[in-house]
């Protein structure tokens, strides 16, 4: 396990414990997601945060100004601490670690469902129910569309991949035929 992973897990666990006591775990996750999406989607923001010539206090002040009314003090303080320690690149890992820590504690898991076409809410709910009963947790489904799948879908929950795609089935059939010859 890399040092960065260990560190982000510690930050995530501390943030979870703080927010769980206040009953704002879901809100905190959304706020972290907002900051991560903003910092990852804009190359100028990433360059600003990574620039060694810009002081740490300036970086923190800009983030506090930009997100101060949108995120809690818990989130701002955690992000500020990462920036102070030169770990602004670990923000996405912090979000993932927070999701993992909160999911474990709250009996929740995130499923990344890749399909050839967008899924409707009914389909997402059905998948959430099926995989929830399979793993014994409440499942939240995020749908990603990949036309290269041809048909079917893949579901990734944590480190486990359930491949029900047409491409996966064809690959397995091909391997079976190769071994039987």
Asked if residue 125 and residue 99 are part of one domain, the reply reads no
Q: Can you tell me which residue has the tokens 């944590």?
A: 158
Same domain, 112 and 42: no
Q: b/e for 69-97, b at 16 or more Cβ within 10 A?
A: eebbebbbebbbebbeeebbebbbbbbbb
Tell me what pLDDT residue 4 has: 58
Q: Residues 133, 168: one domain?
A: yes
Final residue of a domain: which of 71, 103, 135? 103
Strands 160-163 vs 108-115: parallel, antiparallel or unpaired: unpaired
Do 20 and 69 lie in one domain? The reply is: yes
Q: What is the Cα–Cα distance from 11 to 8, expressed in whole angstroms?
A: 5
Which of 45, 80, 103 terminates a domain? The answer is 103
pLDDT tens-digit series, residues 11-34: 999 999 999 888 888 899 999 999
In 24-145 the beta strands, taken as DSSP E runs, fall at 108-115, 138-145
User: Rounded CA gap, 150 and 111, in Å?
Assistant: 20
Which residue among 53, 73, 103 closes a domain?
A: 103
What pLDDT digit, counting tens, does each position of 65-117 carry? 888 889 999 999 999 999 999 888 899 999 999 998 888 888 888 899 999 89
Q: What is the CATH number of the domain that holds 122?
A: 3.40.30
Residue 37: other Cβ atoms inside 10 A: 13
Q: pLDDT-based confidence at 1, cuts 50/70/90?
A: very low
Are residues 76 and 127 both part of a single domain? no
Give me the number of domains the chain comprises. 2
Range of the domain at 35: 3-103
Residues in the chain: 181
Q: What is the CATH number of the domain that holds 85?
A: 1.10.520.20
């Amino acid at each position: 396990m890399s040092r960065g992973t260990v560190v982000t897990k510690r930050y995530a666990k501390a943030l979870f414990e703080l927010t769980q006591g206040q009953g704002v775990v879901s809100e905190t996750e959304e706020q972290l997601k907002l900051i991560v999406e903003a910092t990852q989607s804009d190359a100028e923001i990433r360059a600003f945060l990574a620039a060694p010539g810009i002081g740490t206090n300036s970086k923190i002040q800009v983030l506090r100004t930009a997100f101060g009314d949108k995120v809690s003090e818990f989130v701002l303080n955690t992000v500020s601490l990462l920036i102070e320690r030169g770990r602004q690149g670990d923000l996405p890992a912090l979000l993932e670690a927070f999701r993992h820590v909160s999911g474990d504690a709250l009996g929740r898991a995130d499923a990344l469902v890749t399909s050839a076409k967008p899924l409707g809410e009914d389909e997402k709910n059905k998948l959430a129910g099926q995989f929830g009963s399979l793993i014994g947790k409440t499942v939240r489904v995020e749908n990603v569309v990949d036309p290269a799948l041809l048909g079917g879908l893949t579901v990734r929950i944590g480190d486990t991949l359930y491949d029900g795609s047409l491409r996966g089935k064809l690959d397995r059939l091909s391997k079976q035929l190769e071994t039987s010859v």
